[in-house]
Amino acid sequence: SRKLLIVVTPTYNRALQAYYLHRLSEVLKLVKSPLLWVVVEMNVASAETADILRKTGVMYRHLVCSKNMTDIKDRGVHQRNVALEHIEHHRLNGIVYFADDDNIYSLELFESIRSINRFGTWPVAMLAQSKSKAILEGPVCNGSQVIGWHTNEKSKQLRRFHVDMSGFAFNSTILWDLKKWHRPTSDPIRQLDNVKEGFQETTFIEQIVEDESQMEAVPPGCSRVLNWHLHLESRGVVYPGGWLLQKNLDAV
Ligand code: UDP
C-alpha cells in the first residue's frame, strides 16, 4: 500500500489567499491517495479557509494555533509546530512535507517524496520579485547521496544545512520512534520558537538527522527542479471593482 503523504500548510487571511489555497489544492487533488492536508491558521479557523477546504475534495484537517505570535519573523513557525504535535499525538504514519501556501509545486514532487525512507531533500528554485535572477537552494547530489549544498547566503553565520522549508520531507515516525531512527538527541523535536530568521530549517533538520549520510536525494541525482519558492508581495494589491474583498481574494 502507498505511504500516506502529510502536507502541512500554515496560512493566513490576506489578499491572494484564496488564489494560493485553490492553486495548491488543485495540485493536491491530483496526487494519488492517501494524502492528508493539514492546514493551520492562527487564533481562529476562518470561515473563508474552511469554505475553500470543504470544497476541495482533498482529505484535510483544519487546525488552529492559539499561541501568541511574539515576533513577525515567526511567520508560520508556531503553526507548523501545532501540525507536528497533531501528527505525533495521533501517530499519523507517513511522510511529512511543509508546503507553504504561496509556492508552486509540481505533481511529480509529491510522487517523489513518497519513496523517502528517513529524510529526503532536493533543490528549490527561489524567485524574488526584487531580484532579477532565480537561485537554487538545496543539496548537491551524487546519485541518491547528498554531497554538498548550494550556498547563497551572505551572512557570516553559516547554516549547517542549506535547505528551504519547502525543500525537504521526512518520515513522521522520527517524531516518536527514537529507537528505530537512532535520533541524535532524545529531546522532543520542535521547530524552535526563538530561532533566528533563516535558521528554522537547519535547526529543525539538525534534530532529525546527524549528517548528510542519513539524507536521501529526491529524485536521485537532484537534477530537476520540482518546486518553486516565489517571493511575491501581496500588500498593495488593487482589487477589481465590483468585487467585495474583505480578507482574501474571493468573490462574495
Ligand atoms: N504565514 C502565516 N502567518 C503569517 C505569515 C506567514 O500563516 O503571519 C504562512 C504563509 O501563508 C505561508 C508560510 O507561512 O504558507 C510562509 O510565509 P511567507 O511565504 O510569507 O514566508 P516566506 O516564504 O516569504 O519566508
137, 142, 78, 105: which is closest to 5 by C-alpha?
A: 105
- Who has greater pLDDT, 223 or 198? 223
Helix (H, G, I), strand (E, B) or coil at 201: helix
132, 144, 126: which is closest to 216 by C-alpha?
A: 144
| 70-80 residue pLDDT tens | 666 667 888 99
Q: Is the pLDDT of residue 250 over 60?
A: no
- At position 146, the amino acid (one-letter code) is V
Judge whether 83 and 61 are in contact, CB under 8 Å: no
Q: Is the pLDDT of residue 191 over 90?
A: no
Ligand 1 center to residue 161 CA distance, Å? Answer: 21
Determine whether the shortest distance from the Cβ of 101 to ligand 1 is under 6 A.
yes
CA 150 to chain centre: 19
Which pLDDT score, from 0 to 100, does residue 58 have?
A: 97
Q: Give the helix/strand (H/E) hosting 168.
A: strand 168-171
Distance CA 65, CA 69 (A): 10
Determine whether the shortest distance from the Cβ of 12 to ligand 1 is under 6 A.
yes
Catalytic residues: 201
**Residue appearing with cell numbers 538527522:** 209
ipTM value, please give it: 0.96
Which pLDDT score, from 0 to 100, does residue 252 have?
A: 43
Question: Which residue's alpha carbon is nearest to atom 21 within ligand 1?
Answer: 75
Judge whether 97 and 5 are in contact, CB under 8 Å: yes
* Ligand 1 atom closest to Cα of residue 17: 11
Ligand 1 center to residue 75 CA distance, Å? Answer: 5
- Who has greater pLDDT, 113 or 16? 113
Determine whether the shortest distance from the Cβ of 46 to ligand 1 is under 6 A.
no
Determine whether the shortest distance from the Cβ of 76 to ligand 1 is under 6 A.
yes
| 109-135 residue pLDDT tens | 999 999 999 999 999 998 876 666 778
Q: Is the pLDDT of residue 108 over 60?
A: yes
Which pLDDT score, from 0 to 100, does residue 248 have?
A: 59
* Ligand 1 atom closest to Cα of residue 20: 11
Which pLDDT score, from 0 to 100, does residue 158 have?
A: 81
For the chain, how are helix, strand and coil distributed in percent, rounded to 5? 25, 25, 50
Judge whether 27 and 104 are in contact, CB under 8 Å: no
Which pLDDT score, from 0 to 100, does residue 46 have?
A: 92
Output the nine-digit C-alpha cell for 160: 549547517
Ligand 1 center to residue 134 CA distance, Å? Answer: 20
Distance CA 188, CA 209 (A): 14
Which pLDDT score, from 0 to 100, does residue 134 have?
A: 79
List all residues 6 or more positions away from 89 whose beta carbon is below 8 Å from its beta carbon.
none
Ligand 1 center to residue 82 CA distance, Å? Answer: 15
Which pLDDT score, from 0 to 100, does residue 131 have?
A: 66
User: pTM, whole model, 2 decimals?
Assistant: 0.91
Distance CA 81, CA 76 (A): 9
- Who has greater pLDDT, 246 or 198? 198
Question: Which residue's alpha carbon is nearest to atom 12 within ligand 1?
Answer: 100
| 194-206 residue pLDDT tens | 677 788 899 899 9
* Ligand 1 atom closest to Cα of residue 100: 15
| Average pLDDT over the chain, rounded to an integer | 87
